[in-house]
Amino acid sequence: MQELPAAGLVVIELGHSIAAPYAGLVLAGLGAEVIKVERAGVGDPVRDWGPPYSGDTATVFESYNRGKAGIEVDLRDQAQVAALQRLIVERADVVLQNLKAGAAERAGLGAAALRALKPSLIYCNMHAFGAVGPLKDRPGYDPLMQAYGGLMSVTGESAARPPVRIGVSIVDMGAGMWAVIGILGALLERGRTGAGAVVDVSLYETAIGWMMWPLSAYLASGEVPGPNGSGMSTIVPYQVFETADAKLMVAAANDGLFRRLCGALGRADLAQDPRFASNGKRVANRAALVDILGEIFRTRGTAEWEDALAACGVPASALQDVAGVAGAAQTAALGMIGTLPGDATPQVALPLSFNGRRLPFKRRAPHRGADNDAILSGALPS
């Protein structure tokens, strides 16, 4: 592939925090020219979400905003907003925004205003709670959506323990992914018709999307799922076990894998036990089976069990911490950690390749207003 698939696409990112910047990061990785717009004099608050810092900028900002150009605009200044409008009309294919509800519209940068000027424009709104409904104007952040969207209710050791947040911004980043999917779909449609579109995604809808499994179970049964630690309510054995020296995740997700597991453990009889003969029966007799398996796994170390289970095709893995993931040979083989041109600070790559080629690292995150002159060609007042 001589050129990245989104080469030539121009995206204006009216975004802050994580959701819109992650969508912009993906589009930039795919080859688009992404221009990040920050509030003049304020900037994206993620710039100070540290330590750690790279210079005076939080490393998390560097990670989510690399590969982009950057300008500052005062949305209360009509001349500056007019300059941004001209930039969008003359150059942009896509506008991506996750400003506070109503802020883009008040500034004259909402979908209706901009698409009236440029009907071919694809405009993606990233809401907190959605485009409609009683909560549509409320602000929202990832942990709020993990709580309100039900994710915290099925995460953690048990309902008797304090609620636990998933340790990454899974809702923010998931919403960014849905934004990219929607934008790519709208681009396909524009290629057929020439018309742009308004794409709407939200953190809340993303959280509900992640909850498809437990929500579907509840809608079918009327039973409210709860947390299951490292396990699953509908599959056994499918959880972490203590070994002689560490921990091991085992995922015997069907009867065939369970039979192989029992053979590897030297307990082929367990697969013939009427209590454990099918997944449904294993779920019904979870406690008894987990106790038996737990005793067996504690007799040997994690590496030894990993090798034994891999040899018979049973999915199993040691629990790696962040340092383990960063230093893993598989991580290196995939090229998932690299550096930007002129910057020795390691960065995590996008999890996507084309024709065996990892999407390249292009440039560091922009300093505030770094590209005002180059991009706006002096249209903004000094």
- Return the active site residues: 172
Whether the Cβ atoms of residue 92 and residue 11 lie closer than 8 Å to each other: yes
Residue in this structure with the two tokens 């899974």, named with its chain if needed: 170
Question: Please, are residues 341 and 363 in contact by the beta-carbon 8 Å criterion?
Answer: yes
Q: Are 371 and 67 in contact (CB under 8 A)?
A: no
Strands of the sheet containing 238-242, edge to edge, are 238-242, 247-251, 316-318
Q: Amino acid letter at 371?
A: D
Secondary-structure breakdown of the chain: helix, strand, coil percentages, each rounded to the nearest 5: 40, 15, 40
CA pair distance 151, 157, nearest whole angstrom: 13
Q: Which three-class secondary structure string do you get for 341-368?
A: CCCCCEEECCCCEECCEECCCCCCCCCC
Partners of 37 in the β-ladder: 71
Q: How far is CA 281 from the centre of its chain?
A: 35
